[in-house]
Structure 1
Amino acid sequence: MFIDPHQPETIAQLAQRADDLPDECHLYLLLDGAFLPGLYRSKPFQSSTDVPFYLLFETLPGCTDAVRDVSPFLVLIKPAGGALIEQLDAKLRTCSGWPMVSAIATTENLEQLGARLAAWCIIENDGQRFNFRFPDTRRLPGSFAALRADQRARFTGSMHFWSYIGRDGNWADLEVAGTVSAVEADAVLDDVQFGAILDDAAPDEVLFRLAYSGFESDLAHSLLHAAVSAALTTARQAGLEDDLREEWCEHVARHGHNSLASLAQWRTSLANS
């Protein structure tokens, strides 16, 4: 799992926001199926025929059942008084600790919202096409920040809110404008935007490689990510060689003491050893 577990009040907070929505708004969950493949096929998502969902990868050329199983998907949440908390709990219980949960309130119906978000699943940069991993809530805030204002408008449309469960297991919000806008026709990012998204993902890539090599920590996921992010920033400021950055990040994650002075001391100790 890649983020802190959901906080105890997470479900109740979303249920309260649902109760407070204007009548014209619909509430949806956006779930990233890559972390729990086939989730949309399981209960409670398939336990009732009157709960529609939308697979964002369904429109991709040559979409197969295997692709559908890892697709992000939208599911409509219908406020139903006291039963709403139970409905949300049933759908989100298995998602705790995975960076895969967003809640979206918008005036658009399921097909309209699905088409809007599906248009962003594949982006282009420098003539190449990439999976735009916005349903992964680790990537969502950085990806959103990299977009221009006009792109954000086409990305979110008339949303009342877009909340997501962040690294600390609590809800966080994108700053959506809530304006009517066209669906993106061809999502293209320039090199600066694409570079910003890659930089945003760098701490998670370091954490993945450290975990693969056997690194373990008692720190919460959110604190570990914060430590590695800070260590990378210091490494860039000091001009630390790329092949030493991962080792420096591990040192900070284990011992703390992240600063330019501590980095200089660490490099001296490496040279002496």
Structure 2
Amino acid sequence: MFFAVASHSPHLAGQVLQVWDSRRQSDPALRCHALVDCLLEPSFPAFWKQHSRHPPLAVYADQIGFDKARHVSPSLIALPEEPESAARMLSVLLERCRGRPSLGFLVSKHSPEVLQAQLMRLAGVCDGDGQRWLLRFGDTRIWPYMGEWLTPAQHAYAFAGITAWMIVNRYGELEILDGSPDTAPATPDDFVKDFRLTEQQFLQLLDRAEADAHLAELAQTPGHVRLLRSPIEQYDTARQCLATLDRLGIDNDQDRYEYIRFALHFPGDCERQPAVQTALLSASQGEGRLSELLRELAPTVMATPFHK
């Protein structure tokens, strides 16, 4: 699989421990749990058996409608309370998940079983039209979505009993989201309900995934091996392309994919090229499909051949 992420910072293990220790100053009962997305790390459970006698707790395990997917479930691992042991475990986890958006950390005073129940609140989301969707809350490209996009009530429901949720973001840096530790979390006996989002909130989640979806498709093409940009540079270029197309009102999925592909093969910033600016303007005014305009334009502006 292709992941548009950068290698993580060498300081991450120390930063995670520092955040955990700072939160324990006010509540010594707080524990730290790693959250590994086993859909992105399918061999992780077998790998972990070689390093610990305590298997990961699959969040989907024994959950109605989810149990059959326990082998690809986001999974919890409690870090040792002793700092040196925790640091060693962190080093193993970070090395194993290097280059994948699959690792986060939860700081909470609650047991793994309660955290499992609380995380199941996020397993299914319901959009503004009432349709149900699976939310991969262990994939750090998607969740937690940083920023004030949830209402206070939604935030309290989603992060109840969690003091802090840390992720290794796509740039390899630690991000921290404050939870809602004073809100009572779900319990193992609770009936799991879908997490309800408004239509606008759901579209925001989809928007976060669009660049990755186009890049994953592009990675399957033969020409992708010729790209000289790093995965994270490809992501930044794709996001810039999508922002431009959003501004111009160009929403055709194929046109959006083709523009990203064009930009990634272009030697430099294609949006500085007058001919590309003209093609974008023409497409926005309905004077042709952007994908066709770019195909006609490619031989005159590309330093290397641009093939379909």
If the length of structure 2 is used for normalisation, what is the TM-score? 0.77
Is residue 2:67 matched to residue 1:63? Answer: yes
Whole-angstrom CA distance in 2 between matches of 1:152 and 1:16: 24
Whole-angstrom CA distance in 1 between matches of 2:109 and 2:161: 6
State the Cα distance separating 1:62 from its structure 2 match. 6.3
Q: When the two structures are aligned, how many residues end up with a matched partner?
A: 269
Distance 1:28 1:205, change over 3 A: same
State the Cα distance separating 1:143 from its structure 2 match. 7.8
Match for residue 236 of structure 2 among 226, 250, 261: 226
State the Cα distance separating 1:253 from its structure 2 match. 2.5
State the Cα distance separating 1:74 from its structure 2 match. 0.8
- Structure 1 residue aligned with 2:179: 176
Whole-angstrom CA distance in 2 between matches of 1:203 and 1:145: 22
State the Cα distance separating 1:247 from its structure 2 match. 1.7
CA deviation string 1:24-75 (max 9, x = no partner): 2110001100012141243357732xx46421111132623xx221110111
Unaligned runs of 5+ in 1: none
Classify the secondary structure of the residue corresponding to 1:205: helix
- Would the aligned equivalents of 1:44 and 1:91 in 2 still touch at CA under 8 Å? no
Distance 1:102 1:6, change over 3 A: same
State the Cα distance separating 1:237 from its structure 2 match. 1.2
- Structure 2 residue aligned with 1:246: 257
- Structure 2 residue aligned with 1:93: 95
Max Rg structure: 2
State the Cα distance separating 1:174 from its structure 2 match. 2.0
Amino acid at match of 1:149: P
CA deviation string 1:174-225 (max 9, x = no partner): 2434332343743222322211111121111111111122324332322221
State the Cα distance separating 1:259 from its structure 2 match. 6.3
State the Cα distance separating 1:83 from its structure 2 match. 2.6
State the Cα distance separating 1:103 from its structure 2 match. 0.8
Whole-angstrom CA distance in 2 between matches of 1:5 and 1:202: 21
Amino acid at match of 1:201: A
- Would the aligned equivalents of 2:60 and 2:66 in 1 still touch at CA under 8 Å? no
What is the 5 A alignment of 1:1-273?
1-2=2-3, 3-22=5-24, 23-44=28-49, 47-48=52-53, 51=54, 53-58=56-61, 59-61=63-65, 63-64=67-68, 67-125=69-127, 126-142=129-145, 146-183=149-186, 185-214=193-222, 215-216=224-225, 217-240=227-250, 242=252, 243-254=254-265, 255-258=268-271, 263-267=276-280, 270=294, 273=297
State the Cα distance separating 1:98 from its structure 2 match. 0.6
- Would the aligned equivalents of 1:230 and 1:258 in 2 still touch at CA under 8 Å? no
Q: Which moved more, 1:69-78 or 1:54-63?
A: 54-63
CA deviation string 1:62-115 (max 9, x = no partner): 623xx2211101111122132322121123321101101001111222111110
Amino acid at match of 1:218: L
Classify the secondary structure of the residue corresponding to 2:166: strand
Q: Which moved more, 1:35-44 or 1:225-234?
A: 35-44
Distance 1:238 1:61, change over 3 A: closer
- Would the aligned equivalents of 1:19 and 1:79 in 2 still touch at CA under 8 Å? no
If the length of structure 1 is used for normalisation, what is the TM-score? 0.86
- Would the aligned equivalents of 1:104 and 1:159 in 2 still touch at CA under 8 Å? yes
Whole-angstrom CA distance in 2 between matches of 1:150 and 1:226: 33
Whole-angstrom CA distance in 2 between matches of 1:139 and 1:92: 19
Distance 1:212 1:241, change over 3 A: same
Whole-angstrom CA distance in 1 between matches of 2:70 and 2:255: 40
CA deviation string 1:116-172 (max 9, x = no partner): 001211122323321112210001143875433211111111322111001111111
Distance 1:186 1:122, change over 3 A: closer
Distance 1:144 1:41, change over 3 A: farther
Amino acid at match of 1:40: P
- Would the aligned equivalents of 1:123 and 1:187 in 2 still touch at CA under 8 Å? yes
Q: How many percent of aligned residue pairs carry the same amino acid?
A: 22
Classify the secondary structure of the residue corresponding to 1:57: coil
